[in-house]
Amino acid sequence: MKFKILLLVIVAAFAFAGCKYDWIIPEEVPVIDPDDPSQQVSFSEEILPIFTSGNNCTACHNGSQVPDLREANAYSSLNSTRYVNKTTPDESRIYAIPHPDGGHYKKYTAIQAALILAWIQQGAKNN
């Protein structure tokens, strides 16, 4: 009888220990379908804040370091084949250099990288 209780306690302990892993919630990376008009990425509302909020990129890219990513200049700075490759979007410098797997000073989160890529795939518009 005592053995059965002991066994129950052990089984219960394992069951609760197992639950621990449910608390680790993975970062959800949005899958953006660039051809779906309802999933249009906005430069001013979604892309710009990646560069400017908390001086994420503008700590350095503030005019002294190209590309100038300050709010007033970011679009015109990026509107060039040096930074945006509409034929092969994932080779765009503005996507590839700060990519999460890269070694830049500041890297995009997975979500930010997905937004940047979708924005380029959708034609890198000033929207």
Applying CB under 6 A, the residues found at the interface with ligand HEC are 51, 56-57, 59-61, 65-67, 82-83, 93-94, 97-98, 104-106, 108
Closest distance of CB 42 from ligand HEC, Å: 17
Task: Please say which residue, 12 or 60, places its beta carbon nearer to ligand HEC.
Answer: 60
CA distance linking residue 76 with residue 97, whole number of Å: 18
Task: Please say which residue, 7 or 53, places its beta carbon nearer to ligand HEC.
Answer: 53
CA distance linking residue 115 with residue 102, whole number of Å: 17
Closest distance of CB 96 from ligand HEC, Å: 8
CA distance linking residue 113 with residue 122, whole number of Å: 14
Closest distance of CB 100 from ligand HEC, Å: 10
Query: Which phi-psi region, left, alpha or beta, contains residue 7 (left: φ > 0; alpha: ψ -120 to 50)?
Result: alpha
Task: Please say which residue, 6 or 106, places its beta carbon nearer to ligand HEC.
Answer: 106
Give the burial class of 127: count Cβ atoms within 10 A of its Cβ; 0-12 exposed, 13-18 middle, 19 or more buried: middle
Closest distance of CB 60 from ligand HEC, Å: 3
Task: Please say which residue, 12 or 66, places its beta carbon nearer to ligand HEC.
Answer: 66
Closest CA to 118 of 41, 49, 37: 41
